[in-house]
């Protein structure tokens, strides 16, 4: 149920990105960057497949100096396929977080190391919130909704960590005391 490369390309084409290069930018710096990823190695084969299936058309576009463009256009069949894919049951958001993995070993860290890790994680959330808040020129209602949601949730998330980091540090103290009750013991 994860969205496949072809669906992601159809979406990007529907959103107005009409070359392989443009589609890549949509996932690298553009509107999709924060919740999907797609690279050239997936995009160009996907466009070829979509072309073979009649879900997109392609006309070469000669340019002044720059390399020739292949301008892709989504067809009606393509829009149907996109709609169908987006209305199918979607798998829930999948997160890949190095910070959380690291935090699960908090009890192995020195206080300063943990503190720096939490600082970075909090900052990451506030930075992303600010970055989202700075975005302008967004035309579609869905994108406006997603940007506001992202910014508000990131701020709440960062605030949560700030408000609860002390509890984590206390819990680590308790954990260490329970496991190594003698401070001057022989076990390192």
Partner DNA sequence: TTCGATATATATCAAACCAATATAGGTGAC
Partner DNA sequence: GTCACCTATATTGGTTTGATATATATCGAA
C-alpha torsion 148→167→93→130, nearest 10: 30
Taking the least distance from each CB to its own copies, the nearer of 57 and 177 is 177
Neighbours of 52 (CB within 10 A): 9
User: What is the chain's length?
Assistant: 188
Neighbours of 31 (CB within 10 A): 23
Interface residue with DNA among 59, 62, 68, 89 (CB under 7 A) is 68
- Minimum gap (Å) between residue 51 Cβ and DNA: 10
User: Dihedral of CA 112/113/118/124: which sign?
Assistant: positive
Give the 3-state secondary structure of residue 100: helix
Per the CB < 8 A criterion, the answer to whether 110 and 92 are in contact is no
Q: Which residues contact 32 (CB under 8 A, 6 or more apart)?
A: 8, 11, 12, 26, 38
41 touches DNA by CB under 7 A: yes
4 touches DNA by CB under 7 A: yes
Interface residue with DNA among 70, 79, 155, 165 (CB under 7 A) is 70
Per the CB < 8 A criterion, the answer to whether 78 and 50 are in contact is yes
Stretch that binds DNA, among 15-23, 139-147, 152-160, 175-183 (CB under 7 A): 15-23
11 touches DNA by CB under 7 A: no
Stretch that binds DNA, among 62-70, 79-87, 105-113, 124-132 (CB under 7 A): 62-70
- Minimum gap (Å) between residue 53 Cβ and its own copies: 20
Closest by Cα among 1, 45, 52 to 23: 45
Chain residues that interact with its own copies, rule: CB under 8 A: 1-3, 8, 11, 14-15, 31-32, 34-37, 82-83, 86-87, 89-109, 113, 117, 120, 124, 128, 140-146, 148-149, 152-153, 156-157, 160-161, 164, 167-168, 171-172, 174-175
Query: What are the residues binding DNA (CB under 7 A)?
Result: 2, 4-5, 19-22, 24-25, 37-42, 44-46, 63-70
């Amino acid at each position: 149920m994860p969205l496949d490369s072809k669906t992601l390309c159809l979406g990007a084409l529907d959103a107005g990105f009409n070359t392989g290069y443009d589609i890549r930018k949509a996932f690298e710096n553009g509107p999709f960057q924060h919740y999907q990823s797609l690279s050239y190695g997936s995009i160009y084969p996907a466009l070829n497949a979509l072309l073979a299936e009649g879900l997109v058309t392609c006309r070469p576009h000669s340019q002044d100096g720059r390399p020739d463009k292949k301008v892709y256009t989504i067809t009606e069949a393509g829009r149907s396929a996109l709609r169908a894919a987006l209305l199918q049951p979607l798998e829930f958001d999948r997160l890949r977080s190095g910070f959380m993995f690291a935090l699960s070993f908090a009890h192995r860290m020195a206080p300063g190391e943990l503190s720096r890790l939490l600082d970075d994680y909090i900052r990451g959330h506030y930075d992303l919130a600010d970055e989202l808040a700075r975005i302008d020129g967004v035309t579609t209602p869905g994108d406006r909704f997603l940007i506001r949601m992202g910014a508000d949730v990131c701020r709440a998330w960062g605030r949560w960590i700030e408000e609860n980091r002390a509890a984590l540090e206390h819990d680590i103290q308790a954990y260490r005391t329970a496991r190594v009750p003698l401070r001057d013991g022989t076990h390192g």
